[in-house]
């Protein structure tokens, strides 16, 4: 998450480097080489992640009417293998890859959004629930089968989750009362957690995230960012 100058980057059709870290496609897998310094403890983080897609999606979704913000779920179902040299850890499991881009900062278009992704007998479900700056809501539900087929579905009702330690308000689209299993990230404008939820009649575990665009755009939050996202000179 280190912010670097333009000269620190390099990009081709199947390779992307930022500083000492890089991503490359290798034998139909995305290989991420990580070599960074963590803050505020200044410890070395070095290792690699191999993400092998089981399904691929090429459809792009516009998230706002002026089409300033775009989002694509690249690999809704994938296999992730993590091998870290420092700290010495390794594990594997279900993986996922998406991307978003736009013509303006994300907080300029959205004061808040919640997102979740879960796997089950139904395949994979990705849900997007956001409020746009013009006051309209975005409610997007995608269901992917294990052959790569995509079906747009009506998301279930929005249900509240407990606010975080930083008082970030959260919700998730679920067919029954959700339960937070593990808090993965708790920041002044962002939260990520593992949630037990119900989708398509099945009780599943989902990765869920909330972003508070108003908080992120505030001056006091931006003064905190270098403590977690250092900038090279």
- In a domain, residue 116? The reply is yes
> How many domains is the chain partitioned into structurally?
1
Is position 11 within any domain? no
Domain assignment present for 207: yes
Among candidates 222, 113, 233, 122, which has minimal Cα distance to 170?
113
Domain coverage including residue 147: 108-226
pLDDT at 204 (0 to 100)? 98
pLDDT tens-digit profile of 98-146? 999 999 999 999 999 999 999 999 999 999 999 999 999 999 999 999 9
pTM given for the model: 0.91
In a domain, 61, yes or no: no
Q: What is the CATH number of the domain that holds 187?
A: 2.40.370.10
Q: Is residue 41 pLDDT above 90, yes or no? A: no
**pLDDT, mean of residues 87-91:** 96
Residue 130 within a domain: yes
State what percent of residues in the chain have pLDDT above 90.
Answer: 88
Q: What is the mean pLDDT of the chain?
A: 95
Q: Following CA atoms 192, 51, 43, 20 in sequence, which dihedral angle do they give, to the nearest 10 degrees?
A: -120
Q: Is residue 194 part of a domain?
A: yes
DSSP string, the chain: --B--GGGEEE-SSEEEETTEEEEEETTEEEEEEEEEETTTTEEEEEEEEEEESS-----EE-STT--EEEEEEEEEEEEEEEEEETTEEEEEEEEEEEEEESS-HHHH-SEEEEEEEEETTEEEEEEEEE-TTS-EEEEEEEE-TTS-EEEE----EEEE---TT---EEEE-SS--EEEEEEEE-SSEEEEEEEEEETTEEEEEEEEEEEHHHHHSHHHHTTGGGTS-B--
Domain-located, residue 149? yes
Task: Assess if residue 193 is contained within a domain.
Answer: yes
pLDDT at residue 40 greater than cutoff 80: no
Residue 50 clears pLDDT 70, i.e. is over it = yes
pLDDT of residue 233: 61
């Amino acid at each position: 998450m280190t912010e670097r100058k333009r000269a620190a980057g390099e990009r081709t059709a199947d390779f992307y480097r930022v500083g000492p870290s890089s991503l490359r496609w290798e034998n139909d897998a995305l290989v991420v080489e990580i070599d960074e310094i963590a803050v505020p403890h200044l410890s070395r983080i070095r290792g690699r992640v191999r993400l092998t897609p089981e399904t691929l999606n090429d459809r792009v979704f516009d998230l706002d009417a002026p089409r300033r913000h775009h989002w694509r779920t690249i690999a809704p179902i994938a296999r992730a293998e993590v091998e870290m040299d420092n700290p010495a850890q390794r594990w594997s499991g279900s993986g996922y890859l998406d991307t978003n881009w736009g013509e303006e900062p994300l907080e300029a278009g959205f004061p808040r959004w919640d997102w979740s992704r879960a796997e089950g007998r139904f395949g994979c479900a990705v849900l997007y629930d956001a409020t746009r700056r013009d006051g309209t809501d975005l409610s997007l539900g995608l269901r992917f089968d294990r052959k790569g087929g995509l079906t747009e579905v009506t998301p279930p009702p929005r249900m509240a989750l407990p606010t975080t330690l930083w008082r970030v308000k959260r919700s998730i689209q679920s067919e029954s009362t959700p339960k937070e299993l593990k808090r993965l990230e708790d920041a002044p404008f962002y939260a990520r957690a593992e949630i037990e939820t119900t989708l398509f009649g099945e009780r599943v575990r989902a990765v869920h995230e909330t972003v508070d665009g108003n908080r992120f755009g505030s001056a006091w939050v931006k003064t905190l960012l270098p403590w977690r996202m250092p900038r090279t000179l």
